[in-house]
Chains A and B, each alone.
Chain A
């Protein structure tokens, strides 16, 4: 099956893979904040940090490009808009719209988005989905008291993820069943194609409701109830996790603090 999600999990045993998901989630959030605020020096520091993390995780440049490629048009558009629509000194006199300021801003903004995607991709490529769900669940647990049911959310998300491939198979089966009866999905303009896709969506929704019904019965049969539950893999911080969290948080907060220094 083709890869669907950006930055799908790449199984491995690198130091980054082995880190507690919570460390990686917190690091990614911190990195995002820094990226959105960074000046020139900060940008260089965060770039170095992301490159180091990618290398340490054993993720190849090709894989990282794979995560970025689907967004290439977006990046190009973003860069182009800034390049052409920022006021300032023209680079070439013949093209007054293209300015040095535009070039600078376009590069900075595009870099921000590339860096955000890369940092999220490092997280999702080195953490299996259940680790990710478990990590978020643990991080959100303190909010239980405020009425945010982290356990229920975790079950919801993991059931949803579990059913993605199943529903895709189902769509494929329905498509084949319709093709076998003479439907034609490959041709026609966008409107026609969209209308044909609707003939898959409705049965898919019906099937999904039927599945959900049975799933609910099965979950009830296995003792599901709202509220706290326990897990096969309870996350536990090791010394390496503490060390990594301290080092990464220290570094990123340091970079963020750079902005406030009178340099």
Chain B
């Protein structure tokens, strides 16, 4: 479990805090989406989870280890992997497989063990085929997947991803999101930072941040139901949710907390069925 307790952070000692008394508990195995407009403090928050930032006020514990203890940093970073926004700045190897081997090599594992981990991590992200390629010859989506594999090879219990789908085309985005779901199924906690509502409809939990505070914390369905709250901080609900909200405003009896196109289809066909007397 990752526990943040009344975390307050300032980058500028005289300026306003970037985080204001944020408290949060993330149990193992949860798919948590952290969402908020630019500058709301979401990246700052998650950097505290693997001790890249150490709390100025408050405390963060990872499986009981306090990030304030420098001696615990190595262990914390092994448990909490982090994938940064720009994959170009985190790939260190001259080939895909060597990059994935960087983390296990730092752990001092035997070459046979490294080979096993590299194979497994590349398999998980579906990049085994490109193991020998040079990083700069890959597409944006592929680089992102290599960056994820590089962190997975450390066998983390928690995986933080900062805007993992930015700058990707729809196919690349789909691939990355599918990998995240596979990881969740394998029991890894996924902490997904984003400002796209569409991507997180299936998350176990959504934390909405605004101005350094947690504004809402709950299941996507409950969070999206309050479309006005989200709109007020500059976030848009998924288009289908928006559509259902508008239908409701017009007096249609649909649920306001629809998250997916399939659900919307079911609601609308049910509604049409009522209207035409159940003929269809």
Residues on A facing B (Cβ under 8 Å): 128-130, 133, 155, 158-159, 161-162, 165-166, 169, 211, 214-215, 217-225, 228-234
Q: Verify A218–B84 contact, CB threshold 8 A.
A: yes
Q: Verify B81–A158 contact, CB threshold 8 A.
A: no
Q: Verify A223–B154 contact, CB threshold 8 A.
A: yes
Which residues of chain A are near B134, meaning CB under 8 Å?
A: 165
Q: Verify B114–A165 contact, CB threshold 8 A.
A: no
Which residues of chain B are near A228, meaning CB under 8 Å?
A: 108
B142 at the interface (CB under 8 A from A): no
Q: Verify A230–B114 contact, CB threshold 8 A.
A: yes
Knowing A158-B93, A169-B136, the reply to whether A222 touches B114 (Cβ < 8 A) is no
Which B residue sits closest to A213, measured CB to CB?
A: B89
Q: Verify A222–B88 contact, CB threshold 8 A.
A: no
- Report the minimal beta-carbon distance from A47 to chain B, rounded to whole angstroms: 33
Against A, the Cβ 8 Å flags (1 = close, 0 = not) of B210-222 are 0000000000000
Q: Top 3 A-B pairs ranked by shortest CB distance? A: A218-B90, A232-B101, A223-B106
Q: How far is the CA of A130 from the CA of B97 in the complex (A)?
A: 11
Q: Verify A232–B94 contact, CB threshold 8 A.
A: no
Among A155, A165, A230, which residue has its beta carbon within 8 angstroms of that of B110? A230
Q: Verify A165–B136 contact, CB threshold 8 A.
A: yes
B150 at the interface (CB under 8 A from A): yes
- Report the minimal beta-carbon distance from A134 to chain B, rounded to whole angstroms: 10
Q: Verify A162–B77 contact, CB threshold 8 A.
A: no
Among A215, A225, A232, A233, which residue has its beta carbon within 8 angstroms of that of B92? A215
Q: Verify A166–B107 contact, CB threshold 8 A.
A: no
Which residues of chain B are near A159, meaning CB under 8 Å?
A: 92
- Report the minimal beta-carbon distance from A97 to chain B, rounded to whole angstroms: 50
B111 at the interface (CB under 8 A from A): yes
Which residues of chain A are near B88, meaning CB under 8 Å?
A: 166, 211
- Report the minimal beta-carbon distance from A159 to chain B, rounded to whole angstroms: 5
- Report the minimal beta-carbon distance from B2 to chain A, rounded to whole angstroms: 15
Q: How far is the CA of A217 from the CA of B52 in the complex (A)?
A: 7
Which B residue sits closest to A131, measured CB to CB?
A: B94
B98 at the interface (CB under 8 A from A): yes
Knowing A169-B136, A214-B90, A224-B106, the reply to whether A231 touches B101 (Cβ < 8 A) is yes
Q: Verify B94–A130 contact, CB threshold 8 A.
A: yes
B223 at the interface (CB under 8 A from A): no
Which residues of chain A are near B107, meaning CB under 8 Å?
A: 223
- Report the minimal beta-carbon distance from B266 to chain A, rounded to whole angstroms: 43
Q: Verify B89–A218 contact, CB threshold 8 A.
A: yes
Among B74, B105, B150, which residue has its beta carbon within 8 angstroms of that of A231? B105
B91 at the interface (CB under 8 A from A): yes
Knowing A221-B52, A224-B106, A225-B106, the reply to whether A232 touches B81 (Cβ < 8 A) is no
B68 at the interface (CB under 8 A from A): no
Count of chain B residues with a beta carbon within 8 Å of a chain A beta carbon: 39
Q: Verify B84–A217 contact, CB threshold 8 A.
A: yes
Residues on B facing A (Cβ under 8 Å): 50, 52, 74, 77-78, 81-82, 84, 86, 88-95, 97-98, 101-111, 114-115, 118, 134-136, 150-151, 154
- Report the minimal beta-carbon distance from B109 to chain A, rounded to whole angstroms: 6
Q: Verify B74–A225 contact, CB threshold 8 A.
A: yes
Q: How far is the CA of A166 from the CA of B114 in the complex (A)?
A: 26
Q: Verify A162–B92 contact, CB threshold 8 A.
A: yes
Which residues of chain B are near A222, meaning CB under 8 Å?
A: 77, 81, 102-103, 106, 150-151, 154
Knowing A211-B88, A222-B154, the reply to whether A230 touches B108 (Cβ < 8 A) is yes
Which residues of chain A are near B82, meaning CB under 8 Å?
A: 218, 221
Q: How far is the CA of A261 from the CA of B33 in the complex (A)?
A: 79
- Report the minimal beta-carbon distance from B43 to chain A, rounded to whole angstroms: 12
- Report the minimal beta-carbon distance from A152 to chain B, rounded to whole angstroms: 12
Q: How far is the CA of A161 from the CA of B103 in the complex (A)?
A: 19
Which residues of chain A are near B52, meaning CB under 8 Å?
A: 217, 220-221
- Report the minimal beta-carbon distance from A226 to chain B, rounded to whole angstroms: 10
Q: How far is the CA of A215 from the CA of B90 in the complex (A)?
A: 5
Which B residue sits closest to A222, measured CB to CB?
A: B103
Knowing A223-B74, A223-B106, the reply to whether A231 touches B92 (Cβ < 8 A) is no
Q: Verify B150–A215 contact, CB threshold 8 A.
A: no
Q: How far is the CA of A128 from the CA of B133 in the complex (A)?
A: 12
Which A residue sits closest to B108, measured CB to CB?
A: A230
| Residue from the set A128, A218, A220, A233 with the largest chain B CB neighbour count within 10 Å | A218
Which residues of chain A are near B91, meaning CB under 8 Å?
A: 162
Which A residue sits closest to B117, measured CB to CB?
A: A232
Knowing A220-B77, A222-B154, A232-B114, the reply to whether A214 touches B84 (Cβ < 8 A) is yes
Which residues of chain B are near A133, meaning CB under 8 Å?
A: 94
* CB pairs A–B below 8 angstroms (20 shown): A129-B94, A130-B95, A130-B98, A155-B92, A165-B134, A211-B89, A215-B92, A217-B84, A218-B89, A220-B77, A221-B82, A222-B106, A222-B154, A223-B77, A228-B108, A230-B109, A231-B105, A231-B111, A232-B111, A232-B118
- Report the minimal beta-carbon distance from A118 to chain B, rounded to whole angstroms: 25
Q: How far is the CA of A228 from the CA of B136 in the complex (A)?
A: 27
